[in-house]
Amino acid sequence: MQFKELSTGTGTFIIKTGPGYFQGIQVNVSAAAVTLQIFDGVSSSAPAVAIAGGAAAFPLSAVGTTPNYIYDCHFSQGLTIIVGGSGTLSMTVTYY
């Protein structure tokens, strides 16, 4: 298993290129205005397939202040996470 912490604010983060397995995300710190989109793809301009969020990013505050999202799914092209909104963010992405 590998992990990567994201704590740099908004942006597009290519976590892994090529096929792999996305276990989940543990949100360590989140502001109410932070949103996520998760894709199977490696392009910030045209992500291939939505894993979560799709065309409408979902707010992290919808589940609680420090939610744990479990996906347990394979991806074929890469794992890209788009963080939007504003505020403080720290989350740990786990994948293979």
Alpha-carbon distance values, 38 to 72, 83 (Å) = 13, 9
What does the alpha-carbon distance between residue 53 and residue 72 come to, in Å, rounded to a whole number? Answer: 16
The DSSP output letter for 8 is: S
Task: Calculate ∠ Cα 77-17-13, nearest 5°.
Answer: 105
What secondary structure does DSSP assign to 19-63, as a single string? Answer: SEEEEEEEEEEE-TTEEEEEEESS-SSS-SEEEESTTSPEEGGGT
pLDDT in single tens digits along all 96 residues of the chain: 999 999 877 889 999 999 999 999 998 887 778 888 999 999 766 667 888 887 778 877 655 566 788 999 999 999 999 998 887 788 999 999
Q: What is the pTM of this model?
A: 0.86
Q: Please determine, looking at this structure, whether the domain spanning 2-95 carries the CATH number 2.60.120.
A: yes
